[in-house]
Amino acid sequence: MFAVQARLAYDKDRNGNIEPQLYNAFLKVKPGFGDVWIGHNKPAFGLSMSLDNHGTLLQPLSMYGYGFDRDWGAGYYRDFESGNIAFSATLGSGMPVSFYENYLFSGRFSKGDLNQQNYNAGISVTYGQILETMGYQLPMEMAEPVELTMAGLDGTLLMGRWENRVELLWHSTVHYRHYTSFPASPNVLFHRITVNFLAENRMKCELQNIWRFDSGQEIATDLGLSYQLTPDLVIRGIAGFSDDDVTTVAQVYWYHKI
């Protein structure tokens, strides 16, 4: 299978206001002993590895600065009767392709099958020298890798109309030389609960919490609602609460086969 997904995004701070973005771009083969991929895909770490978060407003921890949602490299994945195993070796640069002695090795082992047993629990580890990328840009003054060590436990439990997802991460604090917004807390706890309504789960109500532990406890909370109008059209909305700020976002998303 060869998958390519690209898009054009509006960015008022970019020349011309339009930025081309390459999202999925990987070749996957099935030689019999598992699935092997090469290109731009999800590293083998945590809940984000199995979540289809493209187009959704609620995002896993990989979109909060804990690892990478997508990275360039290669990986291996294999399903067993109850569980799976995955490994990846990637650049540790995220969206851009950059070579400055950077690398990232990741692995995840899980137990359980969501389709047959309604649960899956996994353990993940990652280590590397990663780059301080900012979206699709890598300013030259940031092209010096920094060390990252991270481990995590995650679990998903399905109970009728209810879905529970939880993830606990430990990571070494990354001290970027030029960019200070990476979370300073060495531990983070993620929890998302989803309630499905209507036939074929066309309506979803979700509550997502993220706790970061450092000198105190910082809590981020998001409330989400989505409704599948047609097989191709969905509307979504979230309200996010963090410190004294409240953010609301609405989305109309159309996805159609060509």
DSSP of 141-202, one letter per residue?
Answer: GG-S-EEEEEEEEEEEEEETTEEEEEEEEEEPPP--SS---S---SEEEEEEEEEEESGGG-
- Residue from 53, 64, 56, 62 nearest 90 by CA: 62
Q: What angle do CA 116, 230, 20 make, to 5 degrees?
A: 90
For residue 157, which amino acid is it? L
The answer on pLDDT for 14 being more than 90 is no
Give Cα separations from 35 to 40, 72, 130 (angstroms). Answer: 15, 17, 25
Tell me the pLDDT tens digit for each residue of 197-251: 999 999 999 999 998 876 556 678 999 999 999 999 999 999 998 777 899 999 9
**pTM of full prediction above 0.75:** yes
Residue of 215 and 7 predicted with greater confidence = 7
Percentage of the chain lying above the pLDDT 70 cut: 89
> Is the separation of the CB atoms in 235 and 227 below 8 Å?
yes
Confidence of residue 142 (pLDDT cuts 50, 70, 90): low
Tell me, what's the pLDDT at 180?
47
CA dihedral 163, 37, 89, 154 (to 10 degrees): 10
Tell me the pLDDT tens digit for each residue of 41-83: 999 999 999 888 878 999 999 888 888 899 999 999 999 988 9
Confidence of residue 98 (pLDDT cuts 50, 70, 90): confident
The answer on pLDDT for 175 being more than 60 is no
Q: What integer is the mean pLDDT of 86-111?
A: 93
Q: Whole-number mean pLDDT of the chain? A: 88
Looking at residue 112, the DSSP 8-state letter turns out to be -
The total of other beta-carbon atoms located within 10 Å of residue 129's CB is: 15
